[in-house]
Amino acid sequence: RYSIGGFLDKNKDLLFQDFKRLMFHSADPVQRQMWPDGQMSITEVTKRPQTAATLFRNSIVALVDKLACKEPYYVRCIKPNELKSPVVFDHARCQHQVAYLGLLENVMVRRAGFAYRQPYDRFLQRYKMTCEYTWPNHLMSSDREAVMAIVSQHGFDQDVEYGRTKLFVRSPRSLFSLEQERNQLIPILVLFMQKVWRGALARMRCRRMRAVYRIMCFYKRYKVKAHFWEVERRFANVRSTSDYGRGVEWPEPPTVLHRFHQVTVLLHKRWWARQVVKNIPPSDMLEVRCKVAAFSALSGERKDWGIPRAWERDYLSNSRDSPQTCSSYIQLSKDLRNKDEFSHVLFSGFCRK
């Protein structure tokens, strides 16, 4: 990519201040506006601008300094065809260029010596999985010793030379055997990495699920305690009330306390019944037991059977229950009492036959 940023500033050819001052003092107002820098006097600007030759020399010096700090690499390019086409390959043309550039001689010289050379760290990074002493990380003092361990394990000691920073390999057969073993180990290592990563993901999900279940456990425990606290708050003073908490509305229990809630309600009903029964005098207990027996026997078959009132047994003598026949019934009962000498009436009442 070619950048044009700062193009004008780099290629600006500055004029002398004398020329600017001359154009500024022109009688033409347009020229005065074109050269505003000329208003500075000769005492204010005394430095002369650099010439084009000076600028070119400074640029060349900077370029040489930059090239001197780099390491050059020479790349020989071969044109596959004269048509500049990406799909055409001229074999004769390419063979001529290879022969002209001397590439065959270069390859022959390289193969005659140590054709393959690689820094120790890069060689170790690529082939360390082929040696048990260097995988996954070696414990030796330097990378050179680790590379020597790899070479010794594969039996390539006679085919290599050790330099100060690089390893030199003579025969490509050694590299082919290393590459072949590396290609066989890569699927195994990939499966191993997948296993480790899946295990890590499973442990992360397990920890997350444990955290979720722990939060759920604390939340359920809080809901249970909150239900107990609410029941305690609502029934705190029921002993001092007139109905002993019978009119208090029970809070909705959690699902886990449904059975416990039923038992608690039943216990409260029994306690309420006990508090009510304690206030009944002993003389009325026989009537209470009779009402309980009647309630169990009727079991809802009759709506009005006298549970809210006191049982009087002799209802025909009561003017409220029998206003028309009570006087005659009283007289007849007195006559029967005097005649047959019975003590009291067990039960009397109207019946429909």
pLDDT band per the 50, 70, 90 thresholds, residue 196? very high
According to the per-residue pLDDT averaged within each range, which of 1-5, 68-72, 225-229, 289-293 is highest? 225-229
pLDDT at 149: 85
The CATH code belonging to domain 91-194 is 3.30.70.1590
Residue partners of 204: CB distance under 8 A and separation at least 6: none
Taking only the tens place, the pLDDT of each residue in 290-334 is: 888 888 888 778 877 788 888 888 888 888 878 888 888 888 888
According to the per-residue pLDDT averaged within each range, which of 23-32, 115-124, 164-173, 205-214 is highest? 205-214
- Whether 350 shows a pLDDT value over 70: the answer reads yes
- Whether 111 shows a pLDDT value over 70: the answer reads no
Average pLDDT of the residues in 284-293: 86
Q: How far apart are CA 281 and CA 278, in angstroms?
A: 8
Judge whether 322 and 315 are in contact, CB under 8 Å.
yes
**Angle (CA) 276 278 281, round 5°:** 105
Share of the chain above pLDDT 70, in %: 95
pLDDT band per the 50, 70, 90 thresholds, residue 270? very high
Q: How far apart are CA 220 and CA 230, in angstroms?
A: 15
pLDDT at 222: 92
Top-confidence residue, 238 or 158 = 238
pTM of the model: 0.39
Length of the chain equals 353
Least confident stretch, 17-21, 118-122, 238-242: 17-21
Share of the chain above pLDDT 90, in %: 18
- Whether 167 shows a pLDDT value over 70: the answer reads yes
Domain boundaries, the chain: 7-68, 91-194, 312-353
Measured between its terminal Cα atoms, the distance across the chain in Å is 120
- Whether 211 shows a pLDDT value over 90: the answer reads yes
pLDDT band per the 50, 70, 90 thresholds, residue 221? very high
Average pLDDT of the residues in 92-98: 90
- Whether 278 shows a pLDDT value over 80: the answer reads yes
Taking only the tens place, the pLDDT of each residue in 126-149 is: 888 888 778 878 877 788 888 888
Tell me the chain's radius of gyration from C-alpha atoms: 58
Q: Which segments of 157-243 are extended strands (E)?
A: 160-162, 166-169
Considering the chain, what is the average pLDDT of its residues?
84
pLDDT at 255: 86
- Whether 13 shows a pLDDT value over 70: the answer reads no
